[in-house]
Amino acid sequence: MRCWKRHHRSVNPKNSSPFSTRRQFLARSSGAIAASTAAGAVLAPGRAHAAAPVATIHETKIISWQPEYYHGWSTVCRRKNGELILTWSGRREAHVCPFGTVEMMRSRDGGKSWTFPRTLLDSAIDDRDSGCLETAKGSLIVTTFSSLAYDDYYLKKGTHADDPRWMAAHQRLPSDEARKAELGEWALRSTDGGVSWSERIHTIANSPHGPIQLSDGRLLYPGKELWTEGKRIGVAVSENDGQSWSWLADIPTREGDNAETGYHELHGVECASGKLLVQIRNHNAANKGETLQTESTDGGKTWSVPHPIGVWGLPSHLLKLSDGRLLMSYGHRRKPFGNQARISEDEGATWSEPMTISGDGVSGDLGYPSTVQLDDGSLVTVWYENLADSPRAQLRQARWTLEG
C-alpha cells in the first residue's frame, strides 16, 4: 500500500547522493559525457552583482513524502484561476531506474495543501523530468522525456541484473529495438483543466521545466534533442497551442565548447520588452558548473552566443515577476547545499547577489527548483531533495517574499 505523509516543518536531509551528476548517467545512453556538478567554478573576471533584495522565508515544508518512492525534477506552474499544478517524475526507486512515471498534484490554496498524486504517464521505460505550463488559451501542457539510462548503467554492467522487479520492468518490451523505439521528448495536453489528457505529442526538444508562453501566442520550447543524431541545442515552437511542434532555431556554440556534451537543461523567459532570454546548464571546461545565458531580439529566430553571468548553480528556472523584474531560481549543489535565487532589474543584463531559499542540505541530490508568484506577491518555490527522514528523495516547498 502506498504510504502518504505530509510534514509541515523543515527537516535535515541526509547525505545519500548516489552519484556525482545525473547527466553522466543520462548522457551514457545518448553517447555524451557530462562533468560532475561538484566541481568548482571561477566567476567571470570583474563581474559584479548588485545587492539582492531581502528574501524572507515564511515556511518550508515537505509536500510529498512517499518513503517507498523517489521523487525527482518537478515543475510548478500557476493557472489563471490561481490553481497551482505540480508535476514530477515519481514512483521511482532511485535517481536512475526503470520505474519513473509522470505524476501531478494540484493546490487550490496557494500551496497550503495539495491533492493526492495522480499518474499522468507510465510508459514501458523510464519517464523522467516533468515540466508544466498553462497556455494563454487555457490548455495545460505537461512535458517529459523517456530514457534507457538504467539499461546501460545498471543492467548491462550486472548491477540489479538479479533483481526480479528491475528485470520484470526491463522486459515489459520484448527487445532492445522495441525499447529504443520508446525514446523521445514528449508532451501531454489537456483542454479541460487536467481532467483528461492527450496521447503523447513529440516536442523535438526537451528541458526539465518545459516550454514558455509568448505574448504573440506561440509556445517556445528552449531545449535539446536527446535521441537524434544531431542532438541540436536551440528552440522548438508551437503555433497551435501545443498540438504540434517544429524546430525554430539553433543556439550557437561558444568557441571552445562542445554543445552536445556540455550544454543541458535550458529554460527561457520573455522580458517586458519582448526580448527572449534562455539560460543553459553548462558542463564545458570554461565556466564549468555555471549557468550560461543567450538572448534573442527577433522572436527566437536568432540567438546570441552563450555567455557566463557569474552564477554557479544549475539548472535554472526563469520567471517574470508582476513588476517586470526577472527571477532565476536554481540548485546549489555544493556547500551550502540547497537552492538559491537572484533578481535582474535590467532584463538579464546583470543579476543580483544570491538569495538563499534553502541551505540545509548535505548532498547534491537536490534542486531543480521552480517558482510561481501568487496574487499577493508572495512566491512559492518547489524542488526535490534527498532528506534524512527517508531513504528516497521527496518534494519540498518554500513560501517566501521579497523586500526591495
What pLDDT digit, counting tens, does each position of 287-331 carry? 999 999 999 999 999 999 999 999 999 999 999 999 999 999 999
Task: Give the model confidence (pLDDT) of 132-142 as tens digits.
Answer: 999 999 999 99
Question: Is a pLDDT exceeding 90 seen at residue 114?
Answer: yes
**CATH numbers and ranges of domains, the chain:** 12-36+52-403 (2.120.10.10)
What mean pLDDT do residues 272-281 have? 99
Residue 267 has pLDDT above 90, yes or no: yes
Centre a 10 Å sphere on the Cβ of residue 228 and count the other Cβ atoms it contains. 13
| Residue 3 binned pLDDT confidence (cut-offs 50, 70, 90) | very low
Q: Is 25 left (phi over 0), alpha (psi -120 to 50) or beta?
A: alpha
Identify the residue whose cell numbers are 518545459. Answer: 210
Mean pLDDT of the chain: 89
Is the pLDDT reported for residue 350 higher than 80?
yes
Answer yes or no: pTM beyond 0.85.
yes
Per cent of the chain over pLDDT 70 is: 88
Q: Which has the closest alpha carbon to 143: 245, 65, 264, 45? A: 245
Question: Predicted confidence band at 40 (pLDDT cuts at 50, 70, 90)?
Answer: very low
Q: What local confidence, expressed as pLDDT, does residue 33 receive?
A: 29
Closest CA to 92 of 62, 118, 66: 66
Q: CA-CA distance, 8 to 371, in Å (whole number)?
A: 19
pLDDT bracket for residue 35 (50, 70, 90): very low
